[in-house]
Amino acid sequence: MLPLYLTTGEPAGIGIDITLALAALPFGQRIDRPLVVLADPALMLRRARKLGLDVNLIDYMGQEIPAPIGSLYIRPVPLRVSVVDGQLNPLNAPYVLEQLSVAADACLHGRAAGVVTAPVQKSVINEAGIAFSGHTEYFQERAGVAKVVMMLATRTLRVALATTHLPLRAVPDAITPALLTQILTILIHDLRTKFAIAQPKILVCGLNPHAGEGGYLGREEIEVIEPVLAEFRAQGIDVGHALPADTLFTPRLLKDADAVLAMYHDQGLPVLKALGFGEAVNITLGLPFIRTSVDHGTALDLAGTGRAEAGSLVVAVQLANELANAHL
């Protein structure tokens, strides 16, 4: 039973807090494979004491069963400098990236079933002089794949993004037939192979209000989006016509959909997070391994206070476990 690796992310944020909360999960919420935490043990224990938690850290030595309740498996990664809760320090940027490197290599060399990531602070990594645009891009480069897709999911809704972190004025130029073909190909492939959905049904948002209103509010739907969708339908794939987002995100249409493809970040994700914030999971499609993540940031002001919510991390770990089991 291959383990899942868990990167704890920015050491001054809540990644450590929410990771520690996993040790107390009851049997009904626990996964059936080892979960290996990547962190500095001294940092973990200091934060546990501050939070009033009694957590036993067990060195991971290839164990094939989950850690007992109250315990966590750990693979030590040493901090570069000591941490003040809630205060970023660029000197610890290499510590954050070493976690990602160890986890990615374990997955790529068949020593781990997947990786779950707690949040990082991109700004402080760049402040350290290291070019870093995010987990997704890091794992894409490490795995040597040409394209990946960001998808967020709750228990009832999956939303994939055609474009991610772009200024809104750059989105229309970025949406090309080649991009949409690439995104849909990855989305369909991973829904089939990772989620075991043999014939996925995908709803697609138009770019413009009212999906362009027949060309009066923009022609991207007519000239770019619809021709690509027609090609997939001609292959027998259940991909809908481009719909206005305010029509698409309604219970009547969503109830039979396996995923929604939104054209840009703030078209799809506000709806998903309104429905399931704190229990949503970020999934990277197109990688040769499973990667899930929390749907929130480092919340520096909550680090060490006992007020951080671990719900999203719990769901991210459980989903990674389910996806790994689907590959057995």
Binding residues for substrate: 135-136, 273, 282, 291
What is the C-alpha separation between 298 and 303, in angstroms, rounded? 8
- C-alpha to C-alpha distances, 143 to 85, 110, 237, nearest whole angstrom: 32, 13, 28
Q: Which residues are annotated as a binding site for a divalent metal cation?
A: 165, 210, 265
Residue 260 · residue 248 · CB < 8 Å: yes
Pairing of strands 201-205, 259-262: parallel
Number of Cβ within 10 Å of residue 310's Cβ equals: 21
What is the C-alpha separation between 76 and 65, in angstroms, rounded? 19
What is the C-alpha separation between 51 and 17, in angstroms, rounded? 8
Q: Which residues are annotated as a binding site?
A: 135-136, 165, 210, 265, 273, 282, 291
Q: What kind and span of H or E run contains 238?
A: strand 238-243
- C-alpha to C-alpha distances, 123 to 104, 149, 247, 282, 302, nearest whole angstrom: 22, 22, 36, 20, 18
Kindly state the greatest CA–CA separation across the chain: 63
